[in-house]
Amino acid sequence: MSALALQQQLLVQSLFTHPASEERQRAERRLAPWLHPGADRGLMAYRAHGHALAERCLAAAYPVVTQLVGEATMTSVARALWHAHPPAAGDIGEWGEALPAWLSACDDLRSVPYLPDVARVEWALHRAASAADAVPDLPSLGRLAGEGADALCLAFAPGTALFDSPWPVADLINHHLSGQPTLDRLVSELHTPGQRHALVVREGWQVSVLSVGPAEAALTAALLAGRSLGEALDAAALADPAPFDFSAWLLPSVQRGRVTGVLP
């Protein structure tokens, strides 16, 4: 390794590793001979800027998680995540994906058991907001009338994602963002056991998360996995004994831009 590459490596370690870690202390000792007097103040400024950037990024990507834990706690979380999982891309908007797994392993936040699942869905909402624009192929939907379901698969708008959770994640997020459902209903949901399904969708410029039933969740999961429409309808029938009205589901899904056409 060249001297310049070694200096760059040590500088990155000095800036991003945890302040109390041996790696940080070792990097600073090895870097010291190359630093001019007063460089410590510059490094402190870089670190402070990084922490501030981390706090802004997480607050923007995870507004509901921030509300649930409080701004002070989120500040500490942002700084810890910044050191544990420093950015690996030039676009800082792509940083923060590691938060759900980090929350799952955080003993201090175990008192909010639904926090990691809320974070997973919020990250999907964040990514969906910057997903590619949908390119509808509405004429292809005519194939639904003339071809067997086992030969067809539906296409969804970019950013569509489905999550299963024992917690009412969609209702949690929507309550904190819009006030609906009501707090009484949300509390009742939190105390009602069962598997829930949260669907992240993008309709034009608007991203949102919906609470969907088991049949729609099974249908959507199968289609997102690339399975045929026939297989997806079978999955929906297995998930819920009540009849699933495919036509009643398809029309608003197409009108709102969630389903963009039939795949070739």
- DSSP code per residue over 51-67: HHHHHHHHHHH-HHHHH
Asked if the model's pLDDT at residue 12 lies above 60, the reply is no
What is the rounded CA–CA span in Å between residue 123 and residue 243? 33
What is the rounded CA–CA span in Å between residue 160 and residue 144? 21
- Structure-token match 């969609």, residue found: 170
Structure tokens at 207: 């991203």
* pLDDT for 84: 84
* pLDDT for 31: 58
CA 89 vs CA 7, 86, 113, 210: distances in Å: 20, 9, 30, 30
Mean pLDDT of 93-99: 91
For the chain, what's the residue count?
264
* pLDDT for 91: 78
Instruction: Dump pLDDT digits (tens) for 173-206.
Output: 999 999 999 999 999 999 999 999 999 999 988 9
What is the rounded CA–CA span in Å between residue 111 and residue 227? 38
In the chain the first and final C-alpha atoms are separated, in Å, by 50
Asked if the model's pLDDT at residue 106 lies above 90, the reply is yes
Kindly provide the residue ranges of all beta strands, DSSP E only, lying in 142-221, ordered along the sequence.
154-156, 161-165, 196-203, 206-212
